[in-house]
Structure 1
Amino acid sequence: MAKFVLAGKTDCPYYAKVELLADRLQRSLPHFRIHKISILPDEWQDWLQDTCIKNSWKHEESPLVWRELVHQGGKGVYLGGFNDFLEHCQNFYNITSDMSEELMQSIAEENLETKLNLIMEEQHRASLIQPLHIWISSALNPTCNMLIPSLLSAEVLSQASAISLHLLDLEGNEEELESLKMETEDLALPLLHQVTIHTDLQEAFQKAEIILLLDDRLSEDAKDAQPHQKIKALADLYTEYGRLIEARANGDVKVIVSGGSLVNLRCSFLLKACSIDSSHFVAVATQLENEARAAIANKLKVRTSEVTDVIVWGDVGDGFYIDLQRAHVFNYDGPIKGPPFFSQPVLEIIYDREWVENDFQDIVRCQQTALVSKTCRGADMSNANGILTLLKAWNGMATPSQMFSVGVLYAVPVIFTDGQWSMVPDVTVGEDLKQRLQLSASELRKKMSNEETVTSNENAAASDDKTTSNENTGASNENTTTSNENTGASNENTTTSNENTGASNENTAASDDNTTTSNENTGASNENTRASNENTAMSNETIAMANENTTMSDEKAAPSNENAAMSDDTTTSSENTAASNEKAATSDENATSNENTVTSNENPTDEEKA
């Protein structure tokens, strides 16, 4: 049997011509089969590239034709494009196509329109399916495996037409999550629409309508941490959960927090991180209820299901109290018997108040520990059953009088009506119970305040590091300022030195002017040599005074040079000062001669006096 696969762009006229020729052959030949693959124009290149890479082919244009040796999906034998297929039909079947270009183009446009219509119909059909989005955190927890089969049944979620299950595990292995996904799909449950797996919070809680938080076990790194560090880790995780739930989840989301410890504390962190109404959050205590019912049933020799209306108060898993004020027992073999619907208050049958207040409470508290020591695993089955029971009630599958113990800050007795839970109004809270609740609430607040203290201490430590850094920076700036002030003082001294040097240069210039005058009067001075010699003594005294002034100028220049040496930036100024001092020394020598000349000019000769 000959089977050909025709692939091409929906708007390609050559694909249209090949398609019609193949249809003609299929109608004429009983064993000739075709399979058509129509690709949108903007998706053609990517599809062609992937197909050629997969089959090691080289092809560039539309259409692409190949033969399959067996039914669809078998190994393909590359045939070629438009011309290759026409040549093959001509050689093997002695048939060809004489379709005009106008008809080819018309069929191509029709193909494109048909393809788009089919896509729109598929999208519309998909939009009619509104799956219920359920998110499960810590999905590799054994509780999740026991939840999934019942969770995807109409018995629990009767109003759902389809369910999209999203499995989230931040510490889990992606391969293990993939295995759980395959196992879930293998259940072939009619309500299951799709299963997705997630190992980060990038898409967590998108469109969530039911969220089951099973994060009862910390990561391997946090297991050996101190208690306050464990609480801090849970606070960080559930605070982030709360922000994401508020930003991404459905407005009518139902959030169930379950586990064996810190259940109410985790629920409190969630509520603190978002502004969603508290009626959308519950911490499950159904597991404790069932364990208490089992303990009472064991004492009264009845079945566990025949004990009802047990109340759990306080912090689930840590500081709870089992209250039997509303508890009843059915089919009890005592002095008073009745039909199956007849029940008796438990406290009227159990007269031992010592057992109720002490031994009974300890039995329930130690139940999980005893189970773990015997089976080396948690009470996963009981935990899953408690979640499913609560979900049924929350979705309207419980009687109005049926009571459950749930809560946010601490567990209280509630009833479910029209998808909302409310506290049972006629429950008696005595002084002893009130003190227990106050103690439980104070312990919970203490844990939350300790977590806030740890956070504030970490922030304070970070702030101290920044303050120390700022202080060091300030000290560095002060040193820099002092250095700049010293540099400024050095520059001022250098400026003073330069001013003194300038004055010295001005004196030198004046001396040069006097020298010029002296040279002009040299002739007269020579004629009066005798008078000049008489005044030599006066001239020498004047020279000594000039030398003394020069010495003082040098002394002033010396400190100036020392100050200039202190500043690297004034090195050039110091060199200029040294040069000016050399010039000053030269001027001193000239000053001596000029002063003699001036003195000589200041003492007129006898002829001038006459």
Structure 2
Amino acid sequence: MAKIVVAGRADCPYYAKAELLGDRLQKNLPDFKLHKILKTPEEWEDWLSETCQQRGWNHQKSPLIWRELIDRGGKGVLIGGANDFQEYASGYYGLSSDLLSSDMRKIAEENQQTKIEVDEEEKLLKSQSNPLHVCITNASSGVSYGMINTIAQGDVFGKTTEVSLHLLAADDRLDYLEGTEMEALDLAQGLLREVIVTSNTHQAFSDCSVILLLDEIPCEPDCEKSTWLQKNAEYFSNYAKIINEVAKPNVKVMLAGEGPVNFNVFMMLQNAPDIPRQNFVGLSRLTENHAKAIVSNQLKVNSDDVVDVIVWGNSYDAHYVDLSNARVHNYDGAVWGPPSFSRPVLEMLHDDKWVGEEFPSLVKQRKAEVQEKLGHPATMSRAAAITTMVGHWWNGSPSGQMFSLAVVSEGWYGVPEGLVFSYPVTLNPKGYWNVVQDINLTEPMKAKINDTVQDLLSEKYVMFPPPKAPTPPPTAEAVPSTDGGEADSVQFKSSEQLITLEESEKETSVTKDGEETAE
């Protein structure tokens, strides 16, 4: 598919010529897509200079025309001006423009007047609008790309909530993000008020009510885990400080990239003292969805029919996927009921060996298996897991169901307070999560949960080592008398009470043979 961008001054006759030729190509060719950028004469010079500088082009007049490499990313391919575009269209598609100069000037005047009116309308609309500012980091990733339309059409924050989308990426990915911005605007979604593309973290987080962190710090094969965790700690602590400084005071922050999610949430909590700590969470939904898909395949139902699967512990590494409370709807069994009717998953599986041995391995291998089949990272499922979870966090989760979310512990189920741990939660329409606290845990389940606690503590201790254990008190022992015999009363030393002896001018001790020696 070809995507051509035609940019120019609103009063430029040659822009009008290129625009109409592009319209003609788009109308007649199903795989041709046109995007227009129209600037006022006052805006044009600065915009042209900045664009050419970023993309490494040398072009000094209106219009500026290039082809976006939407199939493989990159800076795009410069076509040139109106005459260059005419040659391009004639050579590739056999079409050309026969527009007269007088018509070109007339259309240019109309373009300029329309631009003035549209800008005034947009300015008035923005003054009356109060959009929700949402930031996505690592926004040049496929996961981010898969989320934008869902957010823009109101499936996440509601059908009446306008959104200002902030896309943050490194400098060398800004060209790609500009293409993403153009495509987002081409969606023509009424709720997408604006798209801001930036590599400046302060600008990206400024005034945001929701921040979705998709960043990941690759762990090189020869890198020790402690070193990798330290890199993550520095990176996400810096994020937290900026969020604390410039974002909304009640901003909701979800970490949803690859890597030690729980650890990174924990580090952000230490560096954002002004943000409520319950507003930092980590994504567990993708692992939960993996488990649901595996169970649904075993039971021959839709994965959405499997509910109340719990992911305990570390979202990234050592976690325990619990089916003890899971239920299945629409199962083709001996007992039927209305759509709300469900049966316990474990009863329907009735295979303890599969549940105890095969199922955990299948969940652990799911991501790698999907990526091997695809030949690239599984971005669609992660994007869906994020947008669904954020939608539940913002609007409330379905009644009667619980979901998994990594949140800061207050001591629930014996997990140390302050540790970030994946729990079963429900979410209410006011934007709060609540940990489900009435799960009955068997001793084997408690042991598995404790294993995940120890794993998370080992990560925490990389940055916050535990205090050294106090020196154990000496064993209580009888104190001999000074004359070599037994004391009339036995005195004891302990950590609670230190009893010193009244001694003579010269301290004495007793050898094994009972002889006094001076110290």
Task: Check 1:171–1:335 CA distance in 2 against 1; reply closer, same or farther (3 A cut).
Answer: farther
Distance 1:194 1:359, change over 3 A: same
Conserved in 2, the CA contact under 8 Å of 1:309 and 1:404? yes
- Contact in 2 for aligned 1:140/1:172 (Cα 8 Å): no
Deviations 1:296-332 (A, max 9, x none): 1111122212111111111012011111121111222
Q: What amino acid is the match of 1:286?
A: R
Q: Which runs of 4+ in 1 moved over 4 A?
A: 119-125
Q: Tell me the equivalent position of 2:359.
A: 360
Letter matched to residue 415 of structure 1: T
SS at match of 1:70: helix
Contact residue 207 and residue 248 of structure 1 kept, 8 A? yes
Q: CA deviation at 1:122?
A: 8.5
Aligned to 1:138: 138
SS in structure 2 at match of 1:428: coil
Give 2:452's aligned amino acid: S
C-alpha separation in 2, matches of 1:348 and 1:237: 46
Q: How far is 1:283 from its partner? A: 0.9
Q: In 2, distance between residues paired with 1:280 and 1:256?
A: 8
1:411 Cα deviation after fit: 0.5
Q: Distance in 1 between matches of 2:444 and 2:172?
A: 45
The separation in 1 between residues aligned to 2:41 and 2:317, in whole angstroms, is: 63
Partner of 1:250, secondary structure, is coil
CA distance in 2, matches of 1:303, 1:140: 32
Structure 1 position 314 matched with structure 2 position 313:
yes
State the partner residue of 2:415. none
Q: 1:180 to 1:304 in 2, by over 3 A?
A: same
Q: Which amino acid aligns with 2:105?
A: V
- Name which of 392, 410, 414 aligns with 2:425: 414
Map of 2:344 onto structure 1: 345
Deviations 1:413-435 (A, max 9, x none): 00011210010132123332223
**How far 1:228 sits from its partner (Å)?**
2.4
Shift of 1:164: 0.9
Q: What is the number of equivalent residue pairs in this alignment?
A: 352
Q: What are the within-5 Å matches in structure 2 for residues 319-334 of structure 1?
A: 319-334=318-333
State whether residues 425 and 434 of structure 2, in contact with CA within 8 Å, keep that contact through their aligned partners in structure 1: yes
Question: Where does residue 435 of structure 1 map in the other structure?
Answer: 447
SS of corresponding position for 1:332: coil
| Equivalent residue number for residue 251 of structure 1 | 249
How far off its partner does 1:265 sit?
1.4
AA at the equivalent of 1:169 = A
> Is 1:240 aligned with 2:252?
no
Q: Secondary structure at the match of 1:251?
A: coil
Cα separation, partners in 2 of 1:73 and 1:283, compared to 1, 3 Å = same
CA deviation string 1:92-137 (max 9, x = no partner): xxxxxxxxxxxxxxxxxxxxxxxxxxx9999775332111111001
**Which residue of structure 2 lines up, in the alignment, with residue 283 of structure 1?**
282
Alignment of 1:486-497 (within 5 A): none
What is the Cα deviation at residue 197 of structure 1?
Answer: 1.2
Q: Which residue type is aligned with residue 131 of structure 2? A: P
| Correspondence list, 1:587-606, <5 A | none
**1:313–1:410 contact (8 Å) kept in structure 2:** yes
Structure with a larger share of its residues in helix: 1
Given residue 296 of structure 1, which amino acid in structure 2 is its aligned partner? V
Deviations 1:461-486 (A, max 9, x none): xxxxxxxxxxxxxxxxxxxxxxxxxx
Aligned-partner residue type, residue 448 of structure 1: K
> CA separation in 1, counterparts of 2:266 and 2:454?
14
Q: In the alignment, residue 398 of structure 1 is paired with which amino acid? A: S
What pairs up with 1:502-541 in 2 under 5 angstroms?
A: none
- Cα distance in 2, alignment partners of residues 355 and 123 from structure 1: 61
Whole-angstrom CA distance in 1 between matches of 2:224 and 2:165: 35
Quote the residue 2:152 is aligned against: 152
Change (3 A) 1:69 1:375: closer
Which residue type is aligned with residue 373 of structure 1? E
1-structure distance, mates of 2:299, 2:248: 46
Distance in 2, matches of 1:231 and 1:331, equals 44
Query: Does the residue aligned with 1:410 lie in a helix, a strand or coil?
Result: strand
The amino acid that maps onto 1:251 is P
The match for 2:269 among 271, 275, 278 is 271
Q: 1:435 to 1:419 in 2, by over 3 A?
A: same
For 2:148 and 2:122, how far apart are their aligned partners in 1?
29
Does structure 1 conserve the Cα–Cα contact (< 8 Å) formed by 2:202 and 2:242? no
Please list, as runs of the form range in 1=range in 2, the aligned pairs for 1:445-460 lying within 5 A after superposition: 445-451=457-463
- Cα gap change, 1:70/1:223 in structure 2, threshold over 3 Å: closer, same or farther? farther
- Residues in 1 aligned to 2:388 and 2:298: alpha-carbon distance in whole angstroms: 24
Q: Is the 8 A contact 1:368 1:379 kept in 2?
A: yes
Alpha-carbon distance in structure 2 between the residues aligned to 1:299 and 1:356: 11
Is the CA contact (8 Å cut-off) linking 1:215 and 1:259 kept in structure 2? Answer: yes
Looking at structure 1, the residues matched to 328 and 398 of structure 2 have their Cα atoms a distance apart, in angstroms, of 18
CA distance in structure 1 between the aligned counterparts of 2:194 and 2:376, rounded to whole angstroms: 30
8 Å contact 1:213–1:257 — kept in the other structure?
Answer: yes
Deviates more, 1:201-210 or 1:240-249: 201-210
CA contact (8 A) 2:131 2:193 kept: yes
Q: Which residue of 2 aligns with 1:181?
A: 181
* One-letter amino acid of the structure 2 residue matched with residue 241 of structure 1: Y
1:43-62 equivalence runs, <5 A: none
Give the letter aligned to residue 299 of structure 2. Answer: L
Match of 2:371 in 1: 372
- The answer on whether the counterparts of 1:398 and 1:416 sit within 8 Å (CA) in structure 2 is yes
- 1-structure distance, mates of 2:256, 2:343: 31
Q: Distance in 1 between matches of 2:254 and 2:453?
A: 20
- CA gap of 1:122–1:153, structure 2 versus 1, over 3 A, is closer
Q: SS of 1:252's equivalent?
A: coil
Q: 1:229 aligns with which of 215, 218, 227?
A: 227
Distance 1:324 1:398, change over 3 A: same
1:356 CA drift (Å): 1.3
Give the direction of change, closer, same or farther, for the CA distance of 1:424–1:70 in structure 2 (3 Å limit): same
Counterpart AA for 1:207: D
Aligned-partner Cα distance in 1 for 2:145–2:124? 34
CA contact (8 A) 2:202 2:246 kept: no
**Could you report, residue by residue, the CA deviation over 1:192-231 in whole angstroms, capped at 9, with x for unpaired residues?**
1111112232423000111111113539xx6764332222
Whether the aligned pair in 1 keeps the contact of 2:255 and 2:283 (CA below 8 Å) is: yes
Structure 1 contact 135–165 (Cα < 8 Å) conserved:
yes
Q: How far does residue 237 in structure 1 lie from its aligned partner after superposition?
A: 0.9
Q: How far apart, in 1, do the equivalents of 2:122 and 2:299 lie?
A: 61
Name which structure has the greater RCO, CA cutoff 8 Å, separation 6+: 2
Return the index of the structure with the highest Cα Rg: 1
2:265 and 2:282 in contact (8 A); partners too? yes
Kindly provide the amino acid, as one letter, of the partner of residue 246 in structure 1: N
Mark the CA change 1:429 to 1:414 in structure 2 (over 3 Å): closer, same or farther: same
Match of 1:426 among 438, 459, 464: 438
**Is contact 1:166–1:198 with CA below 8 Å preserved after alignment?**
yes
Distance in 1, Cα, partners of 2:377 & 2:304: 22
Q: Are residue 444 (structure 1) and residue 463 (structure 2) matched?
A: no
Asked whether the 8 Å contact 1:204–1:244 carries over to 2, the reply is no
Q: Per-residue displacement from partner, 1:159-204 (whole Å, max 9, x unpaired)?
A: 6542111111137422112122122122121111111112232423
Residue identity opposite 2:431 in structure 1: G
Distance 1:54 1:352 in 2: 72
Task: Rate the CA distance shift 1:266–1:223 in 2: closer, same or farther, 3 A.
Answer: farther
Residues 309 and 170 of structure 1, relative CA distance in 2, 3 Å threshold: same
1:18-97 pair list within 5 angstroms: 70-71=105-106, 73=108
Quote the Cα distance in structure 2 between the aligned partners of 1:54 and 1:171.
25
Distance 1:206 1:175 in 2: 22
Residues 134 and 208, structure 1, Cα contact 8 Å, conserved in 2: yes
TM-score, structure 2 as length reference: 0.62
Q: Which residue of 2 aligns with 1:190?
A: 190
